[in-house]
Copies of this chain bind each other. A is one copy, B any other.
Amino acid sequence: MTSQSPTPSALAFVPFVSVANMMRLVNANGVETVMRDLAAYIEQDFRRWPEFDKTPRVASHSQEGVIELMPTADAENYGFKYVNGHPKNGRTGHQTVTAFGVLSSVATGYPLLLSEMTVLTALRTAATSALVGKYLAPKGAQVMAMIGNGAQCEFQALAFRAICGINRLRLYDIDPAATAKAMRNLSAQGFDVTPCTSGAQAVEGAQVITTCTADKQCATILSDNMVGSGVHINAIGGDCPGKTELHRDILTRADIFVEYPEQTRIEGEIQQLDADHPVTELWQVMRGEAEGRRDAKQITLFDSVGFAIEDFSALRYIHDQIAGSNFYQPLDLLADPDDTRDLFGMLTRAA
């Protein structure tokens, strides 16, 4: 007769990275180092894009917002992220976006890591933007306009400095308090920051334009006359059906780059265009199989919606980082009976 060990075996435990431990890990490495490392993991995974099992995220929409599951897998690992988007959450002291995720072993189906991903999503979103900027921004770009100065703003700025060398920022938000918050944080990080009173003012002289607003509606954060030639637009905020930031006329002037067309056509700026409007897949650019920026006058647009592979890369990075560290705690998430067929015996012996 088998007897249950008094404490669960190692198989029962899943490493858990809490918000506090994620912050410790990021601060120990330095945010910009993390951005560069994350971008390297993401680039590595984009370059082996065909190896992944891909599906558009599974969204559950309500009047208040959306809850999404974003799974993907390669031959070795499976990952998914849970993420919500609730634009009115701030009114009750909740985050607009919160997230957590899991990395698992394909061979056993067992989770290898459970991690907070609110902070990690902010990091990976910015790292992806800047990685794309490395391929698409005009050569020698030094100035970035940032329209929307919410929770994602500072992360974008740090990523673009770490990866693209951009240090001059022009900030605008419909809420001056948001701009003041970003000014404070970014000045402290050594950026040359200019607060602006309109989107039109913010884009003056910018080679990169980042739009990152949170309203769940079709807005026009950028109108056609605000966008001159030779810029790269990093459009972050339009990321679900009925939520866009750019005027349609900008889209028809730009060369559009996307993560996963099947998802972006539903969620991105290009939901405003015909379903067969040409787009370029970024993984092909990163593999050298498709052209990125052709010339200095071209308008390039990264229609960012966030794809599961970026979260997978981020979870891989965290999983590698916590090995041998104290940035995690073991969580008793998995039942581990001595005899795997005797789950019931484990239960009765625990009584």
B-contacting residues of A (Cβ < 8 Å)? 1, 8, 11-12, 16, 18-20, 23-24, 26-27, 31, 53, 55, 58, 60, 62, 64-67, 69, 71, 73, 75, 78, 80, 82, 84-86, 89-90, 92-96, 98, 100, 102, 104, 106-111, 116, 118-119, 122, 149-155, 178, 181, 184-185, 188, 331-337, 339-348, 350-351
CB distance from A255 to the nearest CB of B (A): 31
- Find out whether the CB atom of B80 lies under 8 angstroms from the CB atom of A73: no
Q: Are A12 and B8 in contact (CB under 8 A)?
A: no
Residue from B67, B151, B184 in contact with A78 in the complex, judged by beta carbons closer than 8 Å:
B67
Residues of B within 8 A of A151 (CB): 337, 340-344
B340 touches A23 (CB 8 A): no
Which of A19, A23, A96 counts the most chain B CB atoms within 10 A? Answer: A19
Whether the pair A84, B60 counts as a contact (CB closer than 8 A) is no
Contact B109 A85 (CB under 8 A): yes
* A9: min CB distance to chain B, Å: 8
Contact A335 B8 (CB under 8 A): no
A27 to chain B, nearest CB (A): 4
The binding surface of chain A is classed by DSSP as mixed
- Do A60 and B78 touch (CB < 8 A)? yes
Contact B64 A108 (CB under 8 A): yes
**Minimum distance in angstroms from A11 CB to a CB of chain B:** 6
- Most central of A67, A118, A152, A178 by chain B CB within 10 Å: A67
Known: A27-B347, A62-B106, A66-B109. 12 other contacts (CB 8 A): A16-B331, A19-B332, A27-B351, A89-B108, A94-B108, A100-B111, A116-B333, A118-B334, A149-B341, A151-B341, A178-B341, A181-B341
A100 to chain B, nearest CB (A): 5
Q: Check A80–B78 contact: CB distance below 8 A.
A: no
Chain B residues, CB < 8 A from A118? 334-335, 343
Residues of the B chain whose Cβ atoms lie less than 8 Å from the Cβ of A78: 60, 67
Highest count of chain B CB atoms <10 Å: which of A106, A107, A181, A343: A343
Q: Are B8 and A20 in touch, CB under 8 angstroms?
A: yes
* A108 surroundings in chain B (CB, below 8 A): 64-65, 84, 86, 89, 92, 94
Q: Closest chain B residue to A151 by CB distance?
A: B343
Please tell me which one of the listed residues B23, B62, B335, B339 contacts residue A346 in the complex, with CB atoms under 8 A apart.
Answer: B23
Is there an interface contact between B80 and A69, defined as CB atoms closer than 8 Å? yes
Chain B residues with Cβ below 8 Å from A31 are: 347
A99 to chain B, nearest CB (A): 9
Q: How far is the CA of A46 from the CA of B19 in the complex (A)?
A: 37
A53 touches B60 (CB 8 A): yes
Complex Cα spacing A11 to B155, Å: 23
* Docked pose: A66 CA to B78 CA in angstroms: 10
Known: A23-B350, A69-B58, A345-B185. A332 touches B109 (CB 8 A): no
**What distance in Å separates the Cβ of A301 from its nearest Cβ neighbour in chain B?**
25
Interface centre among A95, A149, A333, A335 (most CB of B within 10 A): A335
Q: Which of B18, B93, B335 contacts A119 (CB 8 A)?
A: B335
Query: Is A116 a contact of B335 with CB atoms below 8 Å?
Result: yes
Write 5 A-B pairs (CB below 8 A) sorted by A numbering: A1-B184, A69-B71, A96-B340, A152-B343, A184-B345
